[in-house]
Structures are given as structure tokens and as C-alpha cells.
Amino acid sequence: MPIPAVKALFFDVFGTVVDWRNSIARETEAILKPKGFALDWIAFADAWRGEYQPGMEEVRTGKIPFSKLDVLHRRNLERILPRFKVSGLDEPTLANLNRAWHRLDGWPDSTPGLKRLHTKFLLAPVSNGNIALMANLARHNGFPWDAILGSEIAGDYKPKPVVYLASAAAFDLPPHECMMVAAHSGDLAAAAATGLKTAHVARPNEYGPGTGEAGPKVPVDVAATSFLDLAEKLGA
Amino acid sequence: MPIPAVKALFFDVFGTVVDWRNSIARETEAILKPKGFALDWIAFADAWRGEYQPGMEEVRTGKIPFSKLDVLHRRNLERILPRFKVSGLDEPTLANLNRAWHRLDGWPDSTPGLKRLHTKFLLAPVSNGNIALMANLARHNGFPWDAILGSEIAGDYKPKPVVYLASAAAFDLPPHECMMVAAHSGDLAAAAATGLKTAHVARPNEYGPGTGEAGPKVPVDVAATSFLDLAEKLGA
């Protein structure tokens, strides 16, 4: 099912390209366990991620000026630590914990799928993550991005239309020549409303077995089960 | 001479990483010669590049709002065509001519040198070229950028300080952990004034044999003769 006009693929990253949940659990355990803390590490990851949308909503609604995701992650971390009875961490430890988001692992098909897709399309993350975070994830995993687009170049957060439109404009492409790839139907619906093509990739275990979207809940141009399947369906 | 604090290298691109002069001469000849035009192609390249600084100066001084370099290149093209008695080109041909700037070749040491430097440093173009132009040059040459920074994310043109400082901020680094690499002493002086480290790479033939800077005309942290020499000197 090649879609001839599409020249660039835009990727949601957290959950779609990388497994934030198991990675954050592993990274936080590696930092805090040697300091004597024994938490439910998966619950800690879920709690930290649970502050993600409320934090961005303060930016989207104009309550606070645009702040990079690294800054929101840090504030969210300090909000959840007391809930897990973690205190007394020094600044280098807090900074290292926050950088756990720069060390997330891709799903097993992510890097090989992206490398195949890169032979045919311009590729960019259109994520709410900031440029440094995305650059470090790319180095950690070997993601072949052509540029890092998304929230930081737009100065706002998805699903605000400006994030999709600023990313298409950065590649000098009209929206219909760009395709948003995500495991989340809400992201795809917002992208489609700005004129982008859309591809759903199922990540059924994002929040634990059977918790993610097994398929799209909105109309999409392509539905795939992995990035390799997506490459197949897009003729790459 | 490793400089321990440096974590990211920022690159000037036109003249430093790519040979714009011979590439533009070749590309314009390939497009216009079959249409019956016989120009001095090198003179045409020089004339087009000659409009570069005046065009950006209108943005720097606030005379016109920020416009991507692709837009300025197109306007500059239309300014020089009559001087070479070229007229009657249709829109696809003009667009294709303007995209010649997306098809410039790196100097022979650029790609292998960047690949070596990439093993040790974050790498980004901090160029006056726009994101799409930089992304296409990277694909054409295999440049391993971690992100595309520079004028488009800053909304202004070098040597304005904001371009260097916005690029360092995008990588979440203080200026002294970033090093500007350029073949032009003016660029390096402006970068140093914002707190960046600097490396000069000699491109003595940029405007023809013996016309470029054979060495830095300002104090720099490193002076190199090629990107491979730079890698050697930075311990990469």
C-alpha cells in the first residue's frame, strides 16, 4: 500500500518508538537501589509518566510559558518522590535520574524498521521530547533521524496543531506529504486534522501486557503491527 | 590536544563542510546547458553566493522578518539571472535551480572526518542554511548529524549571538562545552564572543585556488587542515 505523495515520516516517540516504562523502571532501580531504596519500580515509572500530560497541559493552556520536557520531567520527578518516600537525594543524583529519559530503549523492531524506512523517506521525531533528549535517544539506539522536529521547534506541545504544522514546514513539505506514525489514536486524530497522513503502529504492551492500543481507534491511512511491517506496507 | 570539557561540535557548512562553488557551478550547468544557455558557470556560482550576505543582512537588521535561506536563495537567484541574460525559465526549473543548494558535495575529508568525530562528540550544523536544506545535504553526503541547529531554530542569522547560544541551549549545554568549527575567522570570532570554544579548518580553495583562509586570523583553540586532522587533534 505505497502512498505515493508521502515524502516524510514523523514519529511519536514515547511508547511508539521506545519502551519508556520498562526502561525508566530499570534506570531508576539502577540509581536508587544502591542507595538503599526498594520501590515498586514499574509503579514509579507509571507515576512519573502519570504527571506527563498534566505538566504539558499547563503549557498548552498558557498557564506557564513553554518549558522543555526535561524541565517538566524534573518538576514531575520532585512531585512524585515524596509519594514513594524517597528523600535526601543530592543534585547529581536528581539530574542523573532525570536523564533516565535520555536512555530509553527502542522496541526490538524500532531501529531495524527505521533503517529500512530511511532508505525511502525523510524521518524525524515529532515528539513532545526536547532536542537534547531526542538526540541522546537516537545515539543510544541508532535511530537514523534526518532532523529533530516536534515540540521544541514549535514552542508548544502535541496535540496542538502548530507542532505538526511547524514540523511539516521545517521540511518544506505540505502536510499531505507528511505521515504521522504513532501508537496512540489521539495523536493520529490530531495530526489528521492538520492534513497529515497517518499510520498506526500497535504497541499493545505499552503500559503492561494487553494495555496498549492493539489497533487504531480512528480512521488511518495505514495500520501496522511493527516498524518492519510499516516498512513493508509503505514499500520501503 | 583534547579539550576535556567539549561535548558538542557545531559546524559552519557552506565552505567549511561543503564545496558550494564547484557544486553550484556543476548543478546549474546540468540544468541550464540543455536549455541552450552557455554561461561562465563558476562566475554564476560566485554571483549567486555574492548576494548571500546582503540578503541575510536584511533579516539581521530587522528590515524584513526572518526568512529561511531557501527563500533568500530564490530571491537572490531572480536578482542575478538578468545579469547573465537568462530569462524565460518556468517555475519547475527555477525551483530545481534553487534546490541545487540541497545537492552540494562535501570536501573529500568531510564525511570520513565527521564519522570519526561522531564517535566522541554530539555533532550539529550551526549554519545559516535551513533545516530542509541541511537534512538534504546530510542525506546526499552521509553527514552523521545528531540534530540540525543554527539559523532556523534561532530565527536569525549568524554572526548574531542568538544563533550560537540557541544552538548550545538546544543541546542543554553551556557555551564552553560547545566548539564552533569553521573555515571563516569571522564566524569563529563571533562564536568565541558568546563563550564557545573554536576550531579553524583551512579551506584554502573555497573561492578558487588560494583564495580561502589558509589559517585562522583570530585566536582559536584548535587549528586544523582537514576534518581528519581535527579528529586527530581532538582525540577522536
Q: CB–CB of B216/B223 below 8 Å?
A: yes
Tens digits of per-residue pLDDT, B42-59?
999 999 999 999 989 999
Between CA A175 and CA A197 the distance in angstroms is 8
Between CA B230 and CA B181 the distance in angstroms is 9
- Nearest residue in B to A123, CA atom: B135
- B8-19+105-233 adopts what CATH topology? Rossmann fold (3.40.50)
Say if the Cβ atoms of A146 and B135 lie within 8 Å.
Answer: yes
Phi-psi region of B154 (alpha: psi -120 to 50; beta: other; left: phi over 0): alpha
Between CA A223 and CA A182 the distance in angstroms is 10
Residues in A touching B148 (Cβ below 8 Å): 147-148
- A8-19+106-233 adopts what CATH topology? Rossmann fold (3.40.50)
pLDDT of residue B203: 97
Shortest CA distance to B182 belongs to which of B223, B232, B149? B223
Q: What string of pLDDT tens digits covers the 236 residues of chain A?
A: 557 799 999 999 999 999 999 999 999 999 999 999 999 999 999 999 999 999 999 999 999 999 999 999 999 999 999 999 999 999 999 999 999 999 999 999 999 999 999 999 999 999 999 999 999 999 999 999 999 999 999 999 999 999 999 999 999 999 999 999 999 999 999 999 999 999 999 999 999 998 999 999 999 999 999 999 999 999 99
Residues in A touching B153 (Cβ below 8 Å): 152-153
Side chain identity at residue A225, one-letter code: T
pLDDT of residue A2: 59
Between CA B223 and CA B230 the distance in angstroms is 8
Give me the mean pLDDT over the B14-18 stretch. Answer: 98
ipTM of the complex: 0.94
Say if the Cβ atoms of B170 and A134 lie within 8 Å.
Answer: no
Record the cell numbers describing residue A228, joined without a space. 518492519
pLDDT of residue A4: 72
- pLDDT class for B116, splitting at 50, 70, 90? very high
* Bridge partners, B201 (sequence order): B224
pLDDT of residue B181: 98
- Kindly list the domain boundaries of chain A, sorted by start residue: 8-19+106-233, 20-102
* Bridge partners, B127 (sequence order): B150
- Nearest residue in A to B169, CA atom: A132
Tens digits of per-residue pLDDT, B57-102?
999 999 999 999 999 999 999 999 999 999 999 999 999 999 999 9
Give me the mean pLDDT over the B15-25 stretch. Answer: 98
Q: What is the mean pLDDT of chain B?
A: 96
Establish if B153 touches chain A: CB-CB under 8 angstroms.
yes
pLDDT of residue A3: 72
Look up the CATH superfamily of A20-102. Putative phosphatase; domain 2 (1.10.150.240)
Tens digits of per-residue pLDDT, B137-165?
999 999 999 999 999 999 999 999 999 99
**Burial (CB count <10 Å: 0-12, 13-18, 19+), residue A151:** buried
pLDDT of residue B4: 72
Establish if A177 touches chain B: CB-CB under 8 angstroms.
no
Shortest CA distance to B24 belongs to which of B100, B120, B138, B127? B100
